[in-house]
A and B are shown apart, each in its own frame.
Chain A
Amino acid sequence: MAQPTTNRELTVGVGAGGLATADMVLNIGPQHPATHGVLRLRIVVDGERIVSAEPIIGYMHRGAEKLFEVRDYRQIVVLANRHDWLSAFSSELGVVLSVESMLGMEVPERAVWARTLLAELNRVLNHLMFLGSYPLELGAITPVFYAFREREELQAVMEEASGGRMHYMFNRVGGLKEDLPAGWLGRVAHAIAAVRSRMPDLESLIVGNEILRARTRGVGVLTPETVAAYGVSGPIARASGLNIDLRRDAPYLAYAGLFGEGGPGRVVTRTDGDCLARLEVLLEQTHVSLDLAEHCLDVLASLPQGPINVRLPKVLKVPEGEIYTATENPLGFNGYYLVSRGEKTPWRLKLRSASFNNVSVLSELLPGHLIADMVAILGSMFFVVGDIDK
């Protein structure tokens, strides 16, 4: 019988001859509850065991990079916080940092600390989202409500300052849109304390649950070599033992001090590289980010009054040149490669997003696992589809 080589026959059952079985092609997505939007995985399964897997992306491609080229630097910020809708503030940051360093602009100290604070709160919001949604993929329906209660607490203060709940649009070239509201720092401190006090509830539901541990331990082990080969970054890379974090290794904003000697910042790593390790990194990073945010609050309270942004010219033109700025976004490296020809719009603005690399490793990771594990692994790659497709 002339059959493609991928069709293997094995005999199951009883009686004469048994049953011929063949591999089955299964499309996970683009509309599937585990893909958080429109990621599509084309997997070949033998029974429930995955023979090969191929992520198919592009269902949400919006041409962000081309759109950047026809917008001035103020307008780009609106667009730049959209590709990863869970890390809006951090993605805005990369753009304004690029422009500021091209301009050689000095940003007021209050703005630097306020940005750091908001970036860390954004990181907590992002991580809480995944701490809630990941158990959902494993069939635990309750943690997401716990996580969202905490998210609500922090979103309230983010909204008070910026007016936005997801797409903050609070960064401007040279600082922030406007000063922080009166009494806001106290309310942030209160929110952080509230979140911190209730984190153990969430933790015990997630990493304290023996079924969840059984479903994630030893599943989807990612080796440091694979991490390096695919350019995987962020919490996923650190869960495989890669001690790399741009906040410490290439400090921007106020991170040099925070991650320096005696600072509250520390890089969370694990060595197992499995789904559980990735989840634990996320959980511990949430605590570290809360520490960092608290430290920023203290500093902000001690800083004297002063401007929070720089007056900009009517038409903002960036001098000719090019720059690559990478920030440690909640999900990994987020880089902007800005090429300017002295116009008020960039000539090219290329985006390196974290999720694209993090998801491309799936074809390496999935074969050999069961479909149930596929969902566990997919969820533990902590991706945002917009961040993959741009």
Chain B
Amino acid sequence: MKNLLITILLTVTALISCDVYVQDDYEEQYVLESYLVANRELPFVRLSTTSPALDFYDFEETAVSDANIRIQLLEDGPGSAVDQTIFYTDALPGIYTPTQYHEVIPKRTYQIEINFPGSTNLISAYTVVPDTFQILGGVRDSIIYQSSEQLEITLSESSYPGRQNIFVFNALGMRTMPQNLTPLYADLYEDSEDKEEELQNFANNSSGIINEGNFQRNQDGSFTIKFPWIGIAFYRDNKIVANTLDDNIYDFLRSQEVQVGGSTLSPGEVQNIITHVKGGIGVFGSVASDTVETFVKIPIL
């Protein structure tokens, strides 16, 4: 019995003295951010670095200047020959703008490359721009809030390589005064500590990721959605925007939402955001979008 206990103690000591899973140290990363929108001008590029998690965060303190940035339109998919190159220049600390006009072409692949004078660091990423679509006619000019007749939107057929379309919808309130808030958002506004900021956030109210699989597909390939009342933050004039996402933005959004909570992962179990940037992190993504306007009437009680 005594020998058995000694053996156990030695085994336990050996096991507990080995910790092979040690936490990493903080490592600064380049952060790239740029979003192409189909049929619109090439956007600016934001370049910065991460800062330690518990430090005061100031973009200007982390902004990276003097980088060499170019965005290239490729002939075919990733790795194919370059069709056109657009160079960027410093506009503000960490903000770079294109030196020439270029309209983003849907269904084409764009690549970004960033290097730094006197350094071998290289950042690159690519995005496949989603196919465009249109919000077809027949949208109601006005609707009564929470009535039985919801806003119905029909989108023309479009596709994304290898998967269904993934959407984000947002409602832009055009008269963003507190007295125009719908009841749910009025409650949230009342409880808010920073009312001004909250009002600004509500002015552009987005839905989160919604798969095409939710929608009723029509015979001509278009699909119809009913815009949910929860998306309407303000009465009166609203612009309803439908956006389709590329893989980079989809991966960023779905992993970022898990990182801040609200999934089946245990509290405190956090993983890095899914990025597709070589030599750094962040998003080089693209969307296609269309907009329709409607007027939301206050219901008569």
Partners in one complex: no
- Give A contacts to B, CB under 8 Å: none
- Give B contacts to A, CB under 8 Å: none
